[in-house]
Each structure stands twice: as C-alpha cells, then as structure tokens.
Structure 1
Amino acid sequence: MDTPCATEISIAIPAIQLAARISKHVLASANKGTIEKAEDLSPVTVADFAIQAYLTKVLSSSFPTDSFVGEESAAALRTNPDLLQRVYDVIHECIDEVSSSSNDNNESQVAIAEVVKRGAPESKEQVCELVDRCGDGGKDGLSADSGRTWVFDPIDGTATFVRGEQYAINVALLEGGKQILSVVACPLLSRKATAPLGNASVFKADDDEDGEEGCIVYAVRGFGAYVRPLFVGQGSGLTMCASESLKRHADGVTVSGLRSVSCWNLLGSGVDDAHKAATERLGVEFPGSDLLGWVPRWVALALGLANMTVWVYKRRDRYAKIWDHAGAMLLFEEVGGMITDVDGKDIDMTKGRKLSANFGFVAAPRSVHHVVLKAVRQTLKEQGKEALLTAA
C-alpha cells in the first residue's frame, strides 16, 4: 500500500495481530484475571494489561521519538504479583508461538516475526513501566506542536470480551492532535458480516469457507479505509495479505437510506430514550446494529453495517475517553462519514485523555449529517432536556 504511513502500517498490523492472539489466549482461559478499576469499578483483565504493554513496547522500539496514550495504569499490577506474572507470561507465550511457527524460507513471515519480537518485555518491572508509559500519557493534552502520539484501547468492550462476545483492539496514530492512521482488530467479527450486528454475533474461522478469522480495518487520512482478514488459514498464523478497499458507501446517502448502530439499554451514561426517539424521528429502525463497545460501533459504520449513530450523555460534565474514539472515527470519515458532537462542533482531540471540549456524538453521512443533528436537538428540546444543549 503506497501511502505516507506505509512503514507504520507494516509494523502496526503484525503488532495488532499478536495483540489479538494475546486476547484470544486470555479469552480461552477459565480465569481471565478480571479485576475492577478503583476509579470507576469498570472491569479490566490480563489481556488489557498485556496488550497495552506489548503495543507500547513494539511501537516504541520502532518509533522511539513518539509518545503514547492508553487506558490502563499499572497500579493494580504493582500490588498483585500473581496478576503481573500472568501478564508477563502471556506476552512471552504468544510471541514464542509466533516465533516458533515462522517459516525461515518465507521472507514475509520472518519479517513479521522480527516485528513481533520487538514487543517482548525484558522483565516484569518493565511490563509495569510500559503500561504506565501510556497509562499516564496525554494528561497535558495533544496540542498542534505535540508531535506524534499513539493511542491504544487494548480491549474495547471488556464487559462483552469476558463473555466471549464482540470486542476490538484500537491502535491510532495522531499528529498534533489530528488522526492520521487507524488500525483496529476485531477478532470475532468477519469482514463478511451482515447487519444487524449484535454483541453476541460471533463469527468463527470454521464459519468461513476461506478459513478467515476476524478482521482488521484500517485507514490513512486522505487515502481511504481498508479491510483484511485478521488471520487466514489454519493455526491463526500472522500474515500480510491483500486488503480490500472499502467503498465510500456514505457518499450521497439520503435520509431514507440511514441505518443505525447504537448501544441500547446497556450503558448508564447515555440518554437511551433520546437516542431512540431521535433515530425513530428520522424513520430509522432502532437500534439497528446494537454494540456495547464504541470501537466496534465505528467499525460497523466503516464496513457499511450502519451509517449513523447518536450519543447524548446524561450530564454536560460527562466526557468521552480518547482511546474509545481516536483513530476509529477516521474509519467512518474515510468512507464518507461526518462526525460532530451534539452541539455540532468538530471532535477535538487536543485536550487530553478526555474529550472535554465536546459533548456526545452525532455521526452520519456528510450529505445528511445536518438533518440528523437537527433531529437530535429537536428531540432533546421536546423531551424537556434543553439543559443538555447548553454548556455548563
């Protein structure tokens, strides 16, 4: 692929493939090491810590002057030696599996194995350092002169992940707070999936006649979005294979062609009745595709399984997290989508780990985004929620 980010893609794809192997290794275990974060009681697993440490190591080894932002911190690892040992072990086990299966006569596989090996932490203490390197990242914001920053969500949809349902691994590259590259792995989602898609809509390798398993969706700003299998053939080997360019399916869509993806009745942070009423006001079936994780929702929009989503928080002081959206939003933008907040403002990723300059999301084809935004705002007014349209 001849793009400005060809080198980054050639490293990020093997890295996210290994991250997906880590997730599947943990998913197959009876004890996923699930604990609750002290700050918000949300779940975090061995896979979350291991993937964040691994991605930080492999990408910092490849791009040493870049900075990193990620969801997790290592506080729980430093007080739980058994959990830390499991995190360290699963990274090395998965790297060793890839290294031992690489074919010395296949230059592509050897090159991939070399990339993968860069992510091996040298010690358990380094695991903590790697997690904290991006766990504390971005607190001062990502201004226009902040350079290049990688943003990770190691497991988006942890609550569904532990149930063996849809989840995603998000890797984004920002420069001066602007999205330039997105690489997302969906280990349980086929690139051939059809709508409506739900959390329990799991696609396995034996469901696909070509032996494909999962998918990777990626995009480069100004150069389109692409999809390829996560793994191909037996053994879930790490391979570089042909990618399919995604059509700009959101171009020229009319209101009658809108299809929704949302999260219905699963999260306490959003105004469910407003989401439903605004969508149905447009004559669109609700919820359509119904997914917990934000990154799988952006993927659904990129793949054409939906082309609109609306999210209004219950309070004006509730903000989205950068790792749930950075990069993944670019996937939809590169197929003709437009994304603003509920106030109609562009999404600003320069403020830090929270998107504190924005309130909620309205995403739709560029041709009808203004219609969807108007429907959302009118719905909130009619429901007596005008306070949500006024900045605190």
Structure 2
Amino acid sequence: MDSPYRRELEVALRVIEQAARLSQAVLPDTDKGAVEKEDNLGPVTIGDFAIQALLTCSLHAAFPDDLFVGEEDASALRSDPVLCDRVWTTLQRTVDTSPPSPGDCVVVLPSSPEDMCDAIDRCQNAPGIGRVWVFDPIDGTKTFLRREMYAINVALLVDGQQTVSVVACPLLSPEEAAENKDAVITNDSVDPTGRGSLLFAVKGHGAYVRPLFESKGRVGAAAEITPNIQNTKDTPRRLAPAVASQPLRPVTCYFLQESALDDVHRGVAERLGVAFPGSDLLGWVPRWASLAMGRANTTIWVYRRRDRHAKIWDHAGAMLLFAETGGIVTDVDGRPIDLLAGRNLKNNFGFVAAPTVEAHAAVLKAVRDVLREQGRLDLLGGN
C-alpha cells in the first residue's frame, strides 16, 4: 500500500496481532477478572486492561509525540493489587516482543506494574487537532465474557479525520461466506477454522482483510500489505465496493442494549422491506467490520434520548473500513460524524449507514418517517 502512513499501518498491524494473541489466551478462562466500571456502562476484564497497556506502550514507543484515547482507566488496578498482578502476568506470559524478522516493527511491554497503569491512564485524553490514536481494547466485553464475538479496534485520527484503521476480529471468518452468500453473523458465530479476521484501511487507499491467525490459536507474521502482490489465501483481499443494485441487509443489536429504541429499528426495517434483525451483534466494531466485508450493508441506531451519545472508541477507524468500500455514514440528523467532539460524540445523535448515497437517503428518510409515526418528535433534530 503506497501511502504516507505505511509505517503507522505496519506498527499497528504488528501490535494488534499480539493483542489478539493475548485476547485468545484470556478467552477460555472462566474467571477473566471482570469488574464493573464506575459509570455502570459494562464490565472490564484483564484482557481489556492488558491490551490497552500493550497498544499504548508499543505505539507510544514508535510515535512518542502522538496522543492516545482509550476506553479504560487504571483506577481498578491501582486499588486492587491482586487484579493488577493478574494483568501484569497476562502481559508477560502471552506477548511475544521479538520481531518475526530483522527490521520488523517492535512490540513494547510496560516496564513495571506501575508503568502499566500509567500507560493505561495515558489514554484519558479527549481527541483534538493533530495525531491521536484511539483504542477499544475489547469491543463487546459482554460477549467476550461468553466466549462470543468481539473485536480490537485501533485508529489513527489526524485533525479529527479517520486516517488509519486496524481491526482484529479473532472469531470472525475472513471469508465473505464460503457456501451461503446470505449467511449472517451473530454473537455466537465462531470461525470454524480458528483463523479470525484482520481488517485494515488507510483513507483513500481502500479496505482489506486477511486471516489474523496462521492456524488455530497462532498469530501469523506481519503480512505484506501491498495490494498488487500475488493472490494467495493469506494475501490481503481488497474489500469490494458496494453495488447499487444489492438489496439492503441490516446488522443491528436487537434487545441487547437498554439505550436503543428497538421498536424504531424494527419499524424502519418493515418500512424498507428488509429482514430484521439480520446480523445481530452486540459490539459496534464487529458491526462495522461486517458492513465492510459485505456480510451486511446497512445499519441504524436511535437512542432513547437526545442526550445519549456514542463513544469514540466504538466507531473511530472501524467506520473507515466501511467508508473505504463506498459506504455512507451519518447520524440520524444526516450530519457527518464529528470525531473532534470529545470522548462522547456529543455533536451527533445515533447512526445511519448504507452502501450508497441513494440507499443512505432512503434509509435516513425511513428512520425519520418512523420516528414521526411513533410520536418521537423529541428525537428529531437537524433536517
């Protein structure tokens, strides 16, 4: 991939492979050290803490002047020495810091438990102008606890624009659909080959997918990322652009999130005449990955209240994968997503994503019409 962000992509690919290896080591554990967050927005596990520390240390070593934004903070680790030791031990026993070959990007571990906590807390920034890395160490922690679909999200924003995206989905098959082209992804879908998917994109250069693991449970060496190399089964495959004639196929999260208006989501599907719920996934990053891979091609999200907003780490970068296949993403008001708004995307309300400009206009109209029909004028703003 001939891009000025080639090194950023190479470093991110290398470290996310090790993060995926770590997550797979933790996945079988019955006790993943889960604790509830202080904001009551779900659990956090030793996998979340360890991966955020790994991502931060490695990318900070490569790009020391960049800022970092991540979902987790280390307060639970600082107050619980036993939990802190479990996270530290997990990093030491699962991460391979030796480069696969001379000259490859280096993975960096924290130097001590205190350094590990400091690295996690280095991600408490708000996004702003300049270069900012955004991490979701495990998106779909609730499903991760059940050994179901989850993802690791790494994004580089430059002046608030999605520039580099790297997403690991260790349980998602890299094939579009080997036998059934209408196959949908659900939370309990697990790649039968154990290889998982690694998706990546650089703005203006397309989106790609390749297997994450060489074989079950083993992380592959960093792959060549030039798009015109010989096509082998492990060669990155450029994700195909959307075709206007394709029927709409939704991905959503049905009756799993208290923040959602499920009746509106169902009403929009009925108005558009599409199957519902279609692909049903808890995590937003796997949803964006499924859209980019063509396993679905549209999604909407309407919160119960106008003062409820998305978190930047659930969307930044992962949305770029879909955009690089031609997908259109706005909020329910038809506005572009403002990634400079803060850790909470307070300048936007919900999401509407569709494969083409024409399809997006139709879906957006359906969303707003259903809100009017269901008497939710309080949720209509903008257009």
Q: What TM-score comes out, normalization by structure 1 length?
A: 0.90
Could you tell me whether the CA contact under 8 Å between 1:348 and 1:358 is conserved in 2?
Answer: yes
Match in the other structure for 1:390: 381
Match in the other structure for 2:227: none
Q: Within the alignment, does 1:226 sit opposite 2:214 as a pair?
A: no
Write the mapping of 1:5-20 to structure 2, written as runs, cut at 5 A. 5-20=5-20
- Cα distance between partner residues in 1 of 2:215 and 2:43: 33
| Offset, 1:30 | 2.6
Write the mapping of 1:190-229 to structure 2, written as runs, cut at 5 A. 190-194=173-177, 195-203=183-191, 207-208=192-193, 213-229=195-211
Which amino acid is 1:137 matched to? N
| Offset, 1:109 | 3.5
Match in the other structure for 1:137: 125
From 358, 361, 370, the equivalent of 2:361 is 370
Could you tell me whether the CA contact under 8 Å between 1:253 and 1:368 is conserved in 2?
Answer: no
Cα distance 1:288–1:235, how it changes in 2: closer, same or farther (>3 A)? closer
Match in the other structure for 1:275: 265
Q: Within the alignment, does 1:178 sit opposite 2:161 as a pair?
A: yes
Match in the other structure for 1:245: 238
SS of match in other structure, 2:106: helix
- Cα distance between partner residues in 1 of 2:138 and 2:245: 32
Cα distance 1:234–1:199, how it changes in 2: closer, same or farther (>3 A)? closer
- Cα distance between partner residues in 2 of 1:302 and 1:238: 22
SS of match in other structure, 1:373: helix
Cα distance 1:71–1:230, how it changes in 2: closer, same or farther (>3 A)? same
CA-to-partner distance for each residue in 1:284-304, whole Å, 9 max, x for gaps?
A: 101110000000000000000
Q: Which moved more, 1:26-35 or 1:299-308?
A: 26-35
Which amino acid is 1:79 matched to? S
- Cα distance between partner residues in 1 of 2:42 and 2:29: 20
User: What do you get for the CA RMSD once the two structures are aligned?
Assistant: 1.5
- Cα distance between partner residues in 2 of 1:60 and 1:33: 26
Match in the other structure for 1:155: 138
SS of match in other structure, 1:372: helix
Could you tell me whether the CA contact under 8 Å between 2:48 and 2:137 is conserved in 1?
Answer: yes
CA-to-partner distance for each residue in 1:129-177, whole Å, 9 max, x for gaps?
A: 000000x111xx42xxx21000000000000000000000000000001
| More helix as a share of residues | 1
- In the comparison of the two structures, how many residue pairs are matched? 365
Cα distance 1:234–1:345, how it changes in 2: closer, same or farther (>3 A)? closer
Which amino acid is 1:297 matched to? R
- Cα distance between partner residues in 1 of 2:84 and 2:103: 29
CA-to-partner distance for each residue in 1:10-45, whole Å, 9 max, x for gaps?
A: 111110010011111111223100010011251100
Match in the other structure for 2:112: 123
Match in the other structure for 1:105: none
- Cα distance between partner residues in 1 of 2:185 and 2:381: 34
| Offset, 1:234 | 6.0
| Offset, 1:79 | 0.1
Could you tell me whether the CA contact under 8 Å between 1:224 and 1:246 is conserved in 2?
Answer: yes
Could you tell me whether the CA contact under 8 Å between 1:316 and 1:359 is conserved in 2?
Answer: yes
SS of match in other structure, 1:369: helix
- Cα distance between partner residues in 2 of 1:244 and 1:31: 37
Q: Within the alignment, does 1:189 sit opposite 2:172 as a pair?
A: yes
- Cα distance between partner residues in 1 of 2:103 and 2:217: 18
Q: 5+ residue gaps in structure 2?
A: 178-182, 224-234
Could you tell me whether the CA contact under 8 Å between 1:14 and 1:238 is conserved in 2?
Answer: no
From 370, 377, 381, the equivalent of 1:379 is 370
Match in the other structure for 2:230: none
- Cα distance between partner residues in 2 of 1:309 and 1:28: 31
- Cα distance between partner residues in 2 of 1:235 and 1:378: 47
- Cα distance between partner residues in 2 of 1:360 and 1:77: 33
- Cα distance between partner residues in 2 of 1:382 and 1:275: 13
Match in the other structure for 1:305: 295
* Identity score, percent: 54
Q: Within the alignment, does 1:2 sit opposite 2:7 as a pair?
A: no
From 143, 147, 164, the equivalent of 2:147 is 164
Q: 5+ residue gaps in structure 1?
A: 103-107
CA-to-partner distance for each residue in 1:348-392, whole Å, 9 max, x for gaps?
A: 01111010000000000223111110000000100011110037x
CA-to-partner distance for each residue in 1:28-67, whole Å, 9 max, x for gaps?
A: 2231000100112511000000000110000000011110
CA-to-partner distance for each residue in 1:43-98, whole Å, 9 max, x for gaps?
A: 100000000011000000001111000000111010000111111111111224x6
- Cα distance between partner residues in 2 of 1:8 and 1:24: 24
Could you tell me whether the CA contact under 8 Å between 2:212 and 2:219 is conserved in 1?
Answer: no
SS of match in other structure, 2:153: strand
- Cα distance between partner residues in 2 of 1:371 and 1:234: 42
Q: Within the alignment, does 1:294 sit opposite 2:287 as a pair?
A: no
Match in the other structure for 1:26: 26
